[in-house]
Amino acid sequence: MQKIGIIDLGSNTTRLIVMAYEPERCFRLVDEVSEVVRLAEGVGATGRLQPKPIRRAVVALSMFETLCRRTGVDHVIAVGTSAIREAENQHEFWDALRAETTLDLRIISAQEEAFYGFVGTANALGLRNGFTFDTGGGSTQVVAVRNGQPTETYSVQAGVVRFTERYVSSDPISKRDLRNLRQAAQESFAGLTWLQAHPDYRLAGMGGTIRTLARIDQKQRQYPLDRVHGYQLSREALSNIIEVLSRSNRREREQIPGLKTDRTDVTLAGAIIIEQLMTCGRFESLTVSGQGVREGLFYAHFLQGIEPPLLDNPRTFSIKNLARLSNYEEAHCDKVGSLSQSLFDQLAPLHGYGAWERELLGYAAIIHDIGVAVGYYDHHKHSEYLVQNGTLLGFTHREIAILGALVRNHRKGQADLSPYAQIFAADDSQRIARLSSLLRIAEYLERSKSQVVRAVRVELGESIRIVVEADGDASVGIWDANRRTGLFRKAFERDVEIVQG
């Protein structure tokens, strides 16, 4: 696999991600490091970068370049955003950077920054209609998305470092400062007339501030998944966080679960910017994206020749990506998928499920054995862990929890669903049991991994009869599948017998 490093020098933080990849086939994150450099610190009305922030940024970039060189990175893409883009003394930054590194840092425009953020988020969330936004240290970019294309772009100098320095001079924040902060945020989006909530349009946010706010909300809710990507943050929850932050001094903010020490001074300004953005568009909730500009730059490299560089189906791609990285047995998993979905289709009069459940069952079949990459024993449990912690694009947290339970149940036993009660719907326990029972029967019919079973035919009655059509001796698979029908009997409340036709 090739390795590429992506460096994003922002106004608040500079970050490096290293991706290992095979073009258009699979990829994985192999390293990530970030450093708070506060490049926009002290810029103020002069528009000039200050010597200490320049030095912090150059030291971080030099470290990133060295890390890439020593870890075998084949290619590095480095970009800078609003702090350098708007600085009157860019030459001082360039002189310092070139004295210590050989990085070919490219300053991207506000429109390019918005575009790459859109690409990262649209791929990560499977968003094809809606709006994306990125609130950084110096600015906020908003993009309207229609049918997978960016149609409108809005950029404004409303960033967490810029607003904190300009409007926050008290700790805890005074009523006057808070009023000025809110007014500035409101004025920043006054010209954003095309941002309007719609039942079919999602608002998706990226950047360190929105991830921080999501973590705070998750800690307050005792949320069961350690994953902010795909998290739904409500405007009400955001308002509650703002209330807590606005009445706390720095020492008290440092004790708030989910709030990192290096963000205790700037998160309130970011939260108010985002709240005003939601208010402007009348959005009651937003979806948090764990991917943004850096990933957008990677996708542009990974999908060269595709404009815009969007995955055709992020959900299917990410499932197969996870499977490929785990060296899955494709023929075996395809057979388990076709058998389980055939059972699903023929048992529709009993379960009444539709295309969504069928899709999840098919995805679970592809990745049910990925835990073998960790170890054969208890590989169903390893599979569940990999699903819950892997890079799955376009899935909701509920869907990821369901997929984790399905792969956990494909061999034996049943996953404990109680930790995920606040994620699941009321009938998900039965849904998971029924889908798992079909996956388990298909898995054991394909016990020999030889694809000897050609098809299955279901005969419905007071008891269920599954007739196996095979191109050879399927006796071992039928014998083992009959031993694993307990979950089916419990889930469907019917006896079942599996025979060869």
pLDDT at 45 over 90: no
- pLDDT tens figures, 293-307: 999 999 999 999 999
Question: Measured on CA atoms in the order 92, 95, 100, 104, is the torsion positive or negative?
Answer: positive
What is the enclosing helix (H) or strand (E) of 2? strand 2-9
Closest CA to 137 of 118, 173, 162, 171: 162
- pLDDT of 212-229, one tens digit each? 999 999 999 999 999 999
pTM: 0.94
pLDDT band at 165 (very low <50, low <70, confident <90, very high): very high
Mean pLDDT over 353-373 rounds to 97
> What per-residue confidence (pLDDT) applies to 258?
97
CB under 8 Å to 255, separation ≥6 — which residues? Answer: none
Can you tell me the mean pLDDT for 372-380? 92
User: Average of pLDDT values for 52-68?
Assistant: 97
Please report, in angstroms and rounded to a whole number, the separation of the first and last CA atoms in the chain: 46
In the chain, residues under CATH classification 3.30.420.40 are 2-108
- Indicate left, alpha or beta for 146 from its phi (over 0: left) and psi (-120 to 50: alpha): beta
**What is the pLDDT, as a whole number, of residue 46?**
85
Mean of per-residue pLDDT scores for the chain: 96
Report, as an integer, the average pLDDT of 400-428: 95
Closest to 289 in 3D by CA, of 391, 368, 372: 391
What's residue 466's pLDDT? 98
pLDDT in tens, 468-496: 999 999 999 999 999 999 999 999 999 99
Q: ∠ CA(280), CA(285), CA(290), 5° rounding?
A: 105
Architecture of domain 111-294: 2-Layer Sandwich (3.30)
Give the residue-averaged pLDDT of 162-187. 97
What DSSP string describes 365-382? Answer: HHHTTGGGGT-STTHHHH
Helix, coil or strand: residue 13: strand
How many C-beta atoms surround the C-beta of residue 118 within 10 A? Answer: 31
Sheet hosting strand 75-80, strand order edge to edge: 26-36, 13-22, 2-9, 75-80, 105-107
Q: Which two tokens stand for residue 127?
A: 């968003």
Q: What is the CATH number of domain 2-108?
A: 3.30.420.40
What confidence score (pLDDT) does residue 220 get?
Answer: 96
Neighbours of 339 (CB within 10 A): 26
- The residues near 498 (Cβ < 8 Å, ≥ 6 apart) are 441, 445, 466, 468, 478, 481, 482, 485
Tell the CATH superfamily of the 315-500 domain: Hypothetical protein af1432 (1.10.3210.10)
Instruction: Find, among 404, 266, 431, 270, the residue nearest to 344 by Cα.
Output: 431
What is residue 422's predicted lDDT score, i.e. its pLDDT? 94
Contact 290, 229 (CB under 8 A): yes
- Between CA 499 and CA 395 the distance in angstroms is 37
Q: Give mean pLDDT, residues 240-248.
A: 98
Q: What is the average per-residue pLDDT within 303-321?
A: 96
Q: Are 4 and 301 in contact (CB under 8 A)?
A: yes
Domain with CATH 3.30.420.150 in the chain: 111-294
Q: What is the pLDDT of residue 82?
A: 85
pLDDT at 44: 80
Among 319, 329, 322, residue whose Cα is nearest residue 448: 329
Looking at residue 24, its pLDDT comes to 83
Given strand 496-500, what is the order of strands in its sheet?
A: 453-459, 464-470, 496-500
